[in-house]
Each structure stands twice: as C-alpha cells, then as structure tokens.
Amino acid sequence: MKTKFKIRRSDPLKAEPYWQAYSVEVKEGMTVLDALLKISEGDDPTLSFRRSCRSAICGSCALTINGFPKLACSTQILPIAKETREVTVEPLSNHQVIKDLVVDFTPFWNKMEKVTPFLLPADETRKEWVIKKEDEKAIDRAQKCIMCGSCNAVCNSLDVDPNFIGPAASAKAWRFVGDVREGHRKKRLERLSGEHGVWDCVRCVHCTEYCPKDAAPLEAIERLRAKAIEEGVVENPGAKHVLSLVDSIKRVGRLDEAAMTFKTLGFLRSLGMIPFGLKMEIHGKLPHPIIFLAIEGMKEVKKIYSAVEKRRKKG
Amino acid sequence: MVIHDVIVIGAGLAGMRAAVEAAREGLNVAVVSKVHPVRSHSVAAQGGINAALKETDSWEDHMFDTVKGSDYLADEDAVEVLCREAPADIMELERMGAVFSRDDAGKIAQRPFGGAGYPRTCYLADRTGHGLIHVMYEQLAKKNVYLYDEWHVVEIVVEDKSVRGVIALELLTGKLHRLHSKAVVIATGGYGRLFNTTTNALSSTGDGMALALRAGAPLMDMEFVQFHPTTLKRTGILMTEGARGEGGYLINKDGERFMKRYAPKTLELASRDVISRAEQREIEEGRGVDGCVLLDLRHLGEEKINERLPQIRELSINFAGKDPVREPVPVKPGAHYSMGGIWTDVDGKTPVSGLFAAGECACLSVHGANRLGGNSLLETIVFGRRAGSAAAGFSFENKLRVFPEDALKDTARGIALILNRAEGESASGILKEARDAVEGHCWVFRTEAGLKQGLLEIRKLKERYEGVCVTDRGDGFNTELVTALEAGYILELSEVMLLSALNRTESRGSHFRTDFPERNDREWLKHTLIYKKDGGYDIRYRDVVMTKFKPEERKY
C-alpha cells in the first residue's frame, strides 16, 4: 500500500522548518523506522534521524508520530495509515531541533546528572544484599526507562518551566530513593523537594500515558513525594500544600482555601496573593476568610481518617 | 590539542567498564562513542550473565562448559581468567547498583542456559543488558569520565607501531578533531551488520575492528559468527535463550520437538550452533513453517511469561504480531555474535604498543568457535575491567608521544574526497549488495564454491566503493557520510571473514563447511590471524592454548 509520509524537516542553515512529503510502499509489519530507513536509503539520503537497536530498547528513535510521541521502531504503519491516510513525523516536542528529526538531548542528560544518578550504598563493604521480592518490585517499573525522552516531550510542567526536573529524571531519582541499599535517601529527597523539583509536577499523567516502556514516571513522582513526607522533608511549599489539604479536610471536610494559602506560602508570601484575592472577590469567587462551616457528615470524614490511620500503622 | 591519558572508543559495557577502571586510578579518561552510552548495543542483551556463585557449582565446571561449547578452539588460559573472576565481578556489579532478579530467599537467582551443566546465569528479568548498561553509565557519571558522544572515530593514529591517539568526526558539526593520548582501548562491539538477518543494532558495523586492522593489529578467527537460533522472521530481532531456559519448546510444522533427533540429552538447551543447524535442516528439508520453525511458550502460562519474559512477549506482539501466551512464535537463525575480533592477551593488549581492545570486538579467545549464552556480558565486564586497568598501567609507565603532524590532514583529505565527489554510487546501494553476498555465501552452511563466489562479489564491490558519493553535503548531523564510512569498514571485514572461512577446511562450532563436515583436530586446532599488508592480507595461524582439557567429541 502506497502511504504518504509528511516529515517535518529543518536545516540549521535555513531559517524556517518545512514539511516534506514522501510516498512509501508499505508492507504488512513495516514500522515507521523501516519507512524512514527506506526513504534515507533511496529517495532522500539527506534526511537525518537517530536510530540504533530497532527493537525498542535503546531509546534512540522517539519521535512525534501523528501528533504523539512514539518509538519509530515499534510503531506499525498500517494500523495508523488506515485511520488517518497519511503519517506525519516530527521531532520530539519540548526539545530544541538540531536537524530534521534530530533534537538536542543535552538538557535531558543534564537533568539526569542533577539527580546524582548513581547508588550511594549505605554499606559499601557488604557483599550480597538480601533483596525481597517487594523491594525489587518497588523500583522495577522505574528501572524499565530507556531514556527516550517521550515523557519529557509531553510534560506540561516542563513546557512552562524548562528548569523543571521532569518525569524522566524523577523516575531515575526514585530508582535510587526506592532502593533498599541506598544510604542518602533523605538528602536526595531534600534536593528533589526544592525549587523545580518533584512538587512542580501538575499530575497531568501524560508522562505515564505516553511512556513506551510502561516505566510510569508519574508513579515515581508520587512515590518520591510520599517518601519525602514520610521522612519529614516538609519545609517546602509542595509538602506544606498537601499537608494543609489533609488538615483542612480533617477539620471541615472540604478545602479551606484561605487557610491553605497561609499554610503553603507562609504569612509574608500570602500577602502577595492579596491582589489575586481581590480579583476573586470581584467575581464573587472568594470564600469567606473567617466564617467557614464544616460540611455535614463530618462523622463520616473522621471515620475515613481513622481508618487510614489504622492502615498506616499496620504498614 | 586535546590530551587524555586513556581514550576508550565505544561506550557499551566493555568500553564503559574499561573507562571506569582507568578513572579509578585517577587518570584523565575519555570515552568516544558514535551513540550515547545507553544507546549502545549492550543494552539489547536479554538473557543474562554467567558466574559460578553457588557452592555446588565451581569455576572449573564453568570453564569446562565454556571450552566444550567453544568446540575446543578457546584458549584455556583466557577462559580460566573469565570463569575464575566472574563471581567477584557479579558482586561488584551489585555494589555498583545492579539489581539482579532474586530467588525466594532474596539471593541472586540463576537460570539454566544452553550448553551449561549448571543453572549459573544471573539475570534481570529478560533485560539484563539494559539493567547493566544503565548501571555502568551511572558509574561513568560518578567517575567524571569525559564523554564525546555522537563522535565517530575515523582513524586510530599509530606511528612506529605505537599508538598516538585518534581522529574523530563530531556528528553535530561535521568537524574533525585530534584526540591525543598515551593509550587507546577499542570496545566497539561486533560486526553483525555484515549480514541482512541479524539481531544486532544498526550501529554494529564493526568499525573498531576495521580501524585496528588498518592500524596494524591482526584480526583473529573472523570466520566464526554465531547464528542465534531464535530470531524473529522479518526483522531478525532477538528472542532470548532465556525463553528456552525457562522451558520453551522448539517445534516444526508437524508439532514435533525436533531437537530430540539432534541433541537427545539437552534438547532445546543444546549449544547455539547445534540448534541453528538443526533449524536450518528442518527448514531446508521442508518441515519448517514459511521459512521458520516455531518457538512454543504456551505451556509456561501467562503468569510466568509476564514475570520472567515480559520483553519477549512485548517484542513478539509488536514485531511479529504473535502473543506467545496464545500461539507459537515463528523464529529462524540470525547472525548474532562475532566470536572473532582484534587479537589480544588476557589484559586486552594488542601487538600495537598502547593499543588495547575488550568485549565483542576483541578476540582472546574465550569463545573459540562458538560462544555460550551468558558469557558475552561476562566477557565485557571481566575483560573490560582488565583492559582498563592495563591501559591505565601503560599510561603511567609511558610518556606521551608526538602526534604526527600529517595525520589530521590525511584523514581530512580522505573524507573530503567522498564529500566532494560530484557523482558516483550511493553507499546504501553498495551495502545492500554486500550483505546479500555475505548472507548468500557465508551463512549457517558454507562451501568452497560459495565462499569463493562471495569473495569475488565483495572484491568487485570494494572497487565500486572507490567511487562512493553522497547527496548530503552539509556539515551538521550528516548521517549519510557516516553510512559511507561504515560501508568501507563492512566491506573490509566481509573480505576478511570470507577469506578466513575459505581457508578453514573443517567444520568447528559455528563454522560449518558442507564440503568438510568433520572437525579436524590434527590440522585445525589453531586460530586464524589476518594482518593487513601492502593493500592485501597476510594470513597466519596460532596454536590454541590448552591447559586442562583434552578435545573430545561434542555431544549434547
């Protein structure tokens, strides 16, 4: 079946990126990478893209295919071509383009380095550690990461703040924090809870949704947050926000926004929120700052809290 | 000019292990790799890594299995080092951060593998290489090793038989750089891409071997290429031996477990060469299914497949459209591993002063005529470490020697010649014909007539390659230029492999000559050595080192 490929190309010497179309004869089982190779070996050898293992394990060929990040090597063409009649291929978003489909991965690797990406064992001399199945399992998913960059490409927080640590490096960080052999857990959590750290994730779930290896970066981020609170790393807006939410619901059964603002930001920084509060007041959206009624059925809320507490004590 | 104490070419497991070891000595170490370290082909190793860890196992048994598996072509002194040092290296990998799969007691689990008399393969589900390469990359970061990634080494600079450094092409800018150093370690992996049907990455083009040959080092046993018995039909993608280690069957079109006719004792866990030949026979004698045999895992059940072989299930579904939980997966032999390579001693030393090699690109030889599963990852770690340490030692003991003035100019001229050629043939066209010739004449079964024909075709292609030309004349990320350079390496290695295979008039391990179907210990207990000489090749031979075991008939 002849299939039209629309490829987003850029030449460092030309100012604007442009679309180029190719027609490729597609057979059953052919992948997008096969098509790119076919184009570069025949029609157009100037087309640049990264590739290596072609079996979905080296992480070289993540591209935006029909609008979403995918590994070119494990994406079959026929199922998508039947649906959309053409296949568009673009470089990964949230990354600077170098040429054609090749993007600059330097910021990606720099983020990895920021999380101290190696084990700092609690006991350097120990020969073989006894590792229980559940310990192995705790970090198994994060360890499946192949560093293809798909998650960072669809991360909404990274889109807004290029300094955000991002899902890929967070998954890497959890791989160490969650390792029973690690000796510097708390120090790691303190750094990860700082500015541009794991609390900046807005939990849009894109990273987990588009991960081609089921590494579930969001799960790693959530585990890091929970572990940070568990270890008492709470002197930061993210942890404070969560704790005040828990507290607010415990007290009144719903969000007490004014109190939460104070608890999250502290007194001085809350003053800075006054203009925003006034705007809300004009639109009738500001909850009463002092009179704040608990919901009916607080009894049920209390029950939930004590049940959770019991379960936590049991571990 | 940039100066390093030690330069490592290649950032797979062997290269990174060597770099980490040299950096431990406090040296200024750099790794130059054409892909980022975690993209290196070690990442695709699935099954595991061997070591005699248990009290009921011993390194001597591991050594015996390895020597027998090699069809007695392995050098026993080297195999002894490999097997003796394996357990300590596994423990060190754990300390670095690797998490091997555990048994119920929380200890490192081990699974049975082909050709081994004891379950001694440690693993990380079915992505052992992936686990290890990320750990080694972590260590590289920890040791602050300088990394030049997406740089292609295009020349190893040697003068007066001593190494002076390398010249590398920076892919991003197209610039050529001189990297001056006392010692160079080559760790560029195998040459699976001499073939069409291969489990190897697109980047496994044997660059380092060709560069070493040009720099004056000999290549050894290049006729020995392992054909893995279970690769996917269309793509050659690997289905780990672990699938059979966990109890998978191989069946033909009649549903018969045909291995009982070829290896009655060990069945699907016979050595890889034995199984690949059995499969090829079944297919050629009409008992195959559409050019394949079938790998049947259904009886293992969904739970075990998901736990132990998750990647195998994913690959089968995505690349062959078959879910192994529900139906058998068609498989056939594919080129998998290069037993041959740059001749080194047990410290990775080559005959060129200051030049070392380790991993798949090297040949000691620990694998002889056929490698056992689980021994290649082990080789990268044991001999990567040893080569790194030896290169560091060399660097301490020797002064930096002068980098020849003209080296860069000569290399630049060679590349400019390709870039400026107004018209000619494309590299990918030449490559396609070269791979067809190699696969057609140097596959599982070989004959004199076929090998001669193959040689003839490759030599013609080499002439045509003199007129190779590129369409992309830009500087940045010119992957077409890289393909053209790789084509040169592939043609060179193809010729060396065909020549070595033609001369070896016996059948041993992976090298099977239908015109000489027997192993001939009287004449052929020796290694092939090929040197480059006056535009041609000089073939010599070297006796196999035997210390403990007498060659006997190999039965599985």
ipTM of this model?
0.94
Closest chain B residue to A53 measured between Cα atoms? Answer: B201
Residue B160: give its domain's CATH number: 3.50.50.60
Interface of A with B in 122-151 (CB under 8 A): 124, 126-133, 136, 139, 143-144, 146-147
Quickly state the pLDDT bin for B15 (edges 50, 70, 90). very high
Tell whether B241 and B258 lie within a shared domain: yes
Tell whether B185 and B296 lie within a shared domain: no
Instruction: Single out the residue of B180, B246, B235, B217 nearest to residue B407, CA to CA.
Output: B180
Domain encompassing residue B416? 407-510
Tell whether B348 and B487 lie within a shared domain: no
Tell whether B233 and B220 lie within a shared domain: no
Quickly state the pLDDT bin for B371 (edges 50, 70, 90). very high
Cβ proximity of A55 and B44 under 8 Å: yes
Superfamily of domain A106-230: Alpha-helical ferredoxin (1.10.1060.10)
Tell whether B267 and B212 lie within a shared domain: no
pLDDT over threshold 90, residue A315: no
Tell whether B314 and B329 lie within a shared domain: yes
Rounded CA-CA distance B294/B511 in Å is: 24
pLDDT over threshold 70, residue A289: no
The pLDDT assigned to A292 comes to 66
- Percent of chain A with pLDDT strictly greater than 90: 75
The last residue of a domain, from among B305, B334, B363: B334
Q: Is B272 on the interface with A (CB under 8 A)?
A: no
Candidate from A224-238, A284-298, B231-245, B372-386 with smallest mean pLDDT: A284-298
Tell me the pLDDT tens digit for each residue of B266-325: 999 998 999 999 999 999 999 999 999 999 999 999 999 998 899 899 999 988 889 999
pLDDT over threshold 70, residue B164: yes
Tell whether B186 and B248 lie within a shared domain: no
Measured between beta carbons, which residues in chain A are less than 8 angstroms from residue B314? 56
A222 Cα to chain B: minimum distance (Å): 22
Tell me the pLDDT tens digit for each residue of B439-465: 999 999 999 999 999 999 999 999 999
Query: What one-letter code names the amino acid at B554?
Result: R
The pLDDT assigned to A313 comes to 85
Q: Is B228 on the interface with A (CB under 8 A)?
A: no
Q: Tokens 């850029």 belong to which residue? A: A10
Residue B10 vs residues A52, B44, B179: alpha-carbon distances, Å: 14, 15, 14
Rounded to the nearest 5 degrees, what angle is found at the Cα of A47, between the Cα atoms of A44 and A48? 155
**Is B71 within the bounds of a domain?**
yes
**Is B256 within the bounds of a domain?**
yes
Quickly state the pLDDT bin for B555 (edges 50, 70, 90). confident
Residue B434: give its domain's CATH number: 1.20.58.100
Cβ proximity of B46 and B311 under 8 Å: yes
Identify whether B365 is preceded by a cis peptide bond (ω within 30 of 0).
yes
**Is B195 within the bounds of a domain?**
yes
**Is B421 within the bounds of a domain?**
yes
Tell me the pLDDT tens digit for each residue of B500-516: 999 999 999 999 999 99
Please say whether the structural domain A2-103 has been given the CATH code 3.40.50.300.
Answer: no
Tell whether B72 and B172 lie within a shared domain: yes
- Percent of chain A with pLDDT strictly greater than 70: 98
Q: What is the mean pLDDT of residues B146-153?
A: 97
String of DSSP letters for B299-364:
GG-HHHHHHH-HHHHHHIIIIIS--TTTS-EEEEEEEEEE--EEE--TT-B-SSBTEEE-GGGEES
Average pLDDT for chain A: 93
B100 Cα to chain A: minimum distance (Å): 9
User: Residues with Cβ < 8 Å from B539, sequence gap 6 or more?
Assistant: B499, B500, B503, B528, B529, B530
Tell whether B252 and B319 lie within a shared domain: yes
Quickly state the pLDDT bin for A260 (edges 50, 70, 90). confident
Tell whether B65 and B183 lie within a shared domain: yes
pLDDT over threshold 80, residue B350: yes
Tell whether B170 and B293 lie within a shared domain: no
Q: What is the mean pLDDT of residues B182-197?
A: 97
| Interhelix angle A237-252/A257-271, nearest 10 degrees | 140
**Is B529 within the bounds of a domain?**
no
pLDDT over threshold 70, residue B199: yes
Q: What is the mean pLDDT of residues B36-41?
A: 97
Tell whether B33 and B176 lie within a shared domain: yes
Enter the tokens of residue B347: 């410290």
Q: What ranges make up the beta strands (E) of B114-264? A: 121-122, 146-149, 151-159, 162-170, 175-186, 219-220, 225-232, 249-251
Cβ proximity of B528 and B520 under 8 Å: no
Q: What is the mean pLDDT of residues B3-27?
A: 97
Quickly state the pLDDT bin for A290 (edges 50, 70, 90). low
**Is B462 within the bounds of a domain?**
yes
Average pLDDT for chain B: 96
Q: Is A174 on the interface with B (CB under 8 A)?
A: no
The last residue of a domain, from among B283, B316, B334: B334
The pLDDT assigned to B9 comes to 98
**Is B520 within the bounds of a domain?**
no
**Is B533 within the bounds of a domain?**
no
Which ranges of B170-258 does DSSP label H, i.e. alpha helix? 207-214, 242-245
pLDDT over threshold 80, residue B477: yes
Query: What one-letter code names the amino acid at B456?
Result: L
Residue A20 host element (H or E): strand A18-25
pLDDT over threshold 80, residue B47: yes
Q: Is A44 on the interface with B (CB under 8 A)?
A: yes
**Total structural domains within chain B:** 3
CATH 1.10.1060.10 range(s) for chain A read 106-230
